[in-house]
Amino acid sequence: MQLVCPAGNLPALRTAIDAGADAVYLGFRDQTNARAFPGLNFDDNEIRQGIAYAHARGRQVYLALNTYPDSARLAHWHRAVDQAAELGVDAIIAAEMGVLDYACRTHPKLARHLSVQGSATTAPALRYAFERFGIARAVLPRVLSVQQVERLCQNAPIPLEVFAFGSLCIMVEGRCQLSSYVTGASPNRHGVCSPARFVRWDEHDGGERSVRLNDVLIDRFQPEEPAAYPTVCKGRYGVGGEIFHALEEPTSLNTLELLPRLAQAGVAALKIEGRQRGAAYVDAVTRTWRAAIDRHRVAPEAWTAQPAWQNTLSAHAEGHQTTLGPYHRAWH
């Protein structure tokens, strides 16, 4: 299985490659990708340097063009596809049909991966994207159980990539309206959930902190309580007389214990989430998964998830907690 790691900037890209990533994924410094945070992403020159660094070591670079343009701005996404082809990335990762169609017609030799944001959860949906847009790979949404992933591996016409580790985006990928409902800025169109300019932290007497997104209270933290970046889905709300994480716990997906099962199923690539995270995260998480994948390749029968690997991953998880998320939910 290929290990695909996040690169929010050039130092993170080099770190990921040095730590053993088979491929990195990155984005332009604009709203064409779903991590349009200030200070992140790449200009053309940095992408050229990143590609040179990766290719010199036999690794690949994928470019995320995975937001949904509105028709007035479609030309900007088309230019981004042209630019990706000119720069020589190994593949683009796209979700919107107009973007995929343009790429397929205009740059047929530029490999296309269907983004997680494309929300393809069935074999017919994957077959349609393959036949219509010639996708070379699809990234599955993080809403599927492991049994569903296994079935898709048997029936999909193209190799599949799944998320292995990182923050969870719990809604049907590419369809969440929570952040845009609260802020008016859509993650799917503008590339960032809970934009930092809408986030306000207040400290109160006794050290309690509260966090608001565009003046909507989404959580309160006790003085020593760890607090992750605030998103609406992971806030605590009053429901039925109780205050709790009504939608999702602040926790990270960690599928390490499923690695043998995903390998057996024929998953082609494991993706690490976190272009918004620093080089220390990229280094530790990439090295851990590299070691786990390599150990499994050499001795699959003897493979177990080492406690040291799990400890490292937990230390870099959101809220220091991990979950198998939908991979193991019985209600599927």
CB closer to ligand SF4, 254 vs 288: 254
Phi, psi of 204 (to 5 degrees): -115, 170
For residues 67 and 112, what is the distance between their CA atoms, to the nearest angstrom?
15
Q: What percent of the residues of the chain are helix, what percent strand, and what percent coil, each to the nearest 5?
A: 40, 20, 40
Tell me which stretch binds ligand SF4 (CB under 6 A): 10-18, 47-55, 173-181, 304-312: 173-181
Q: How far is the CB of 98 from ligand SF4 (least distance, A)?
A: 21
∠ at Cα 165 (263, 20), nearest 5°?
A: 70
Say whether 233 counts as a known binding-site residue.
yes
* Span of 25-33, 59-67, 168-176, 294-302 interacting with ligand SF4 by CB under 6 A: 168-176
| Nearer of residues 1 and 232 to ligand SF4, judged by Cβ | 232
Q: Which of residues 174-213 bind ligand SF4 (CB under 6 A)?
A: 176, 178-179, 187, 193
Note the residue count of the chain: 332
Least distance in Å: CB of 326 to ligand SF4?
A: 12
The residue among 15 and 214 lying less far from ligand SF4, judged by its C-beta, is: 214
> For residues 15 and 179, which CB has a smaller minimum distance to ligand SF4 in the complex?
179
Nearer to ligand SF4, 133 or 281 (CB): 281
Whether 228 contacts 319, CB under 8 Å: yes
Segment lying near ligand SF4 (by CB under 6 A), choices 20-28, 85-93, 167-175, 258-266: 167-175
Among the candidate windows 61-69, 165-173, 221-229, 273-281, which touches ligand SF4 by CB under 6 A?
A: 165-173
Taking the complex as a whole, the smallest distance from the CB of residue 231 to ligand SF4 amounts, in Å, to 4
Q: Which residues fall within 8 angstroms of residue 76, CB to CB, at 6 or more apart? A: 30, 32, 69
Neighbour count for residue 88 (Cβ, 10 Å)? 13
- The candidate with the shortest Cα–Cα distance to 162, out of 297, 262, 49, is 262
Angle CA(138)–CA(139)–CA(145) in degrees, nearest 5? 115
What's the min distance (Å) between Cβ of 314 and ligand SF4?
20
- The minimum distance between CB 163 and ligand SF4, in angstroms, equals 12
Residues 228-287 within binding reach of ligand SF4 (CB under 6 A): 231-233
Q: Spell out the residues 6+ positions from residue 59 whose beta carbon is closer than 8 angstroms to its own.
A: 17, 21, 22, 23, 24
Query: Which listed residue (114, 171, 270, 305) binds ligand SF4 by CB under 6 A?
Result: 171
Q: How far is the CB of 34 from ligand SF4 (least distance, A)?
A: 9
Residues 147, 121 contacting (CB under 8 angstroms): no
Q: Tell me how far, at minimum, the Cβ of 237 lies from ligand SF4, in Å.
A: 13
**Is the CB of 193 or the CB of 256 nearer to ligand SF4?**
193
Q: Least Å distance between CB 183 and ligand SF4?
A: 10
5 known member of a binding site = no
Compare residues 170 and 285 and give the one whose CB is closer to ligand SF4: 170
Q: How far is CA 81 from each of CA 106, 112, 194, rounded to the nearest angstrom?
A: 9, 10, 26
**DSSP code, position 96:** -
Task: Please check whether residue 113 is in contact with residue 62, taking contact to mean a CB–CB distance below 8 angstroms.
Answer: yes
Of 65 and 293, which has the nearer Cβ to ligand SF4? 65
- Torsion of Cα atoms, 8 then 12 then 18 then 22, to 10°: 0
User: How does strand 322-323 pair with strand 209-213?
Assistant: unpaired
| Segment (H or E) for 126 | helix 123-133
Determine if 170 is a binding residue for ligand SF4 (CB under 6 A).
Answer: yes
- What residue type is 133 in one-letter code? F
Contact residues toward ligand SF4 (CB under 6 A) are: 169-171, 176, 178-179, 187, 193, 231-233
User: Which residues participate in the annotated binding site?
Assistant: 169, 176, 193, 233
User: Which residues participate in the annotated binding site for [4Fe-4S] cluster?
Assistant: 169, 176, 193, 233
